[in-house]
């Protein structure tokens, strides 16, 4: 199995301005060479807004089109989330929707399950019910969103993924939680874990200090962005992961459970 080159992009966001954010991230992505997977923050195109009615897009929106075009141009998959609008028989519903865009223009999605009630997210968005596992270049990837990080049962590796990804707008006030929980998720799930956050101050005057990071399955830190903006790339070794799981197969003693 080939290794996987992963690039995290950590930036401040332009509040409620999808065009400016796509231009910003597009400029940074254009500088990348030969990366397999590009990871952008939660609601990368707007910031973490509780005003989905003003910025949410549907399946034919400009942000999805931009993700598709950019992924194809760079021949790299892209992970990101955006406020998403779905219209059905029961009216309009909004989702914090994560998109895994493949270089061929096809995409899969995951709707954030755990909605951050301290910001009233559960009053503005619908929660998802289904976990996503993406098969990409032979790697099994489980992407999740921000507050999901606090719920280890939902994140539990049932021997069905090799890389766990969290994209976030995680405030600086709880940065210690962010760093600690990401490392814990790697150790308990015997998996690579990548966490991508933002920096700067958003439209609600909430500060973010980044700390985007990649951990190996033993909890070792492979890459740490600190509070700097930019692109951060590392290479994940599949054989090393399989070797560690073989030497330390704690997953074989995991408790069985059902999520309802």
DSSP element (H, E) containing 21: helix 18-29
pLDDT digits (tens, 9 = 90+) for 118-147: 999 999 999 999 999 999 999 999 999 999
Quick one: average pLDDT of 69-95? 95
pLDDT digits (tens, 9 = 90+) for 44-63: 999 999 999 999 999 889 99
DSSP state of 204: T
Question: What is the value of pTM for the model shown?
Answer: 0.97
Residue-range domain boundaries for the chain: 4-251
CA-based nearest residue to 190, from 212, 168, 220: 220
> Cα separation of 142 and 202, whole Å?
27
Q: Name the residues annotated as catalytic.
A: 42, 112, 146
Q: In this structure, what token pair is assigned to residue 206?
A: 């909430």
Q: In this structure, what token pair is assigned to residue 131?
A: 């976990």
Crossing angle (nearest 10°) for helices 18-29 and 62-74: 0
- Domain 4-251 fold is Nitrilase/N-carbamoyl-D-aminoacid amidohydrolase (3.60.110)
E-strand stretches of 198-257: 199-201, 207-209, 213-215, 221-224, 230-236
DSSP element (H, E) containing 74: helix 62-74
> Cα separation of 225 and 84, whole Å?
29
pLDDT digits (tens, 9 = 90+) for 93-122: 999 999 999 999 999 999 999 999 999 999
Band the pLDDT of 210: cuts 50, 70, 90.
very high
Residue 211, pLDDT > 80, answer yes
Contact 131, 120 (CB under 8 A): no
Contact 72, 92 (CB under 8 A): no
pLDDT digits (tens, 9 = 90+) for 148-183: 999 999 999 999 999 999 999 999 999 999 999 999
Max Cα–Cα distance, the chain, nearest Å: 52
Phi and psi at 24, nearest 5°, equal -60, -50
């Amino acid at each position: 199995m080939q290794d996987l080159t992963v690039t995290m992009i950590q930036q401040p966001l332009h509040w409620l301005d999808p065009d400016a954010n796509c231009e910003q991230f597009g400029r940074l992505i254009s500088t990348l060479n030969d990366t397999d997977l590009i990871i952008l923050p939660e609601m990368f195109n707007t910031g973490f807004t509780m005003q989905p009615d003003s910025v949410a897009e549907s399946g034919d929106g400009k942000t999805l089109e931009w993700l598709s075009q950019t992924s194809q141009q760079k021949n790299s998959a892209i992970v990101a989330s955006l406020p998403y609008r779905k219209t059905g028989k029961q009216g309009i519903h909004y989702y914090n929707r994560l998109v895994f865009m493949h270089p061929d223009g096809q995409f899969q999605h995951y709707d954030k399950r755990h909605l951050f009630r301290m910001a009233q997210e559960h009053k503005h968005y619908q929660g998802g019910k289904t976990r996503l596992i993406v098969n990409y270049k032979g790697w099994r990837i489980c992407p999740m969103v921000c507050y999901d990080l606090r719920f280890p049962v939902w994140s539990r590796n049932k021997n069905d993924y090799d890389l766990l990804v969290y994209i976030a707008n995680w405030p600086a006030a709880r940065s210690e939680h962010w760093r600690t929980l990401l490392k814990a998720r790697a150790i308990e799930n015997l998996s690579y874990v990548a966490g991508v956050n933002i920096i700067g101050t958003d439209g609600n005057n909430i500060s973010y200090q980044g700390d985007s990071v990649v951990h190996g399955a033993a909890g070792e830190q492979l890459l740490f962005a600190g509070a700097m903006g930019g692109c951060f790339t590392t290479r994940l070794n599949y054989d090393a992961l399989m070797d560690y799981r073989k030497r330390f197969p704690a997953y074989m003693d995991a408790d069985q459970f059902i999520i309802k």
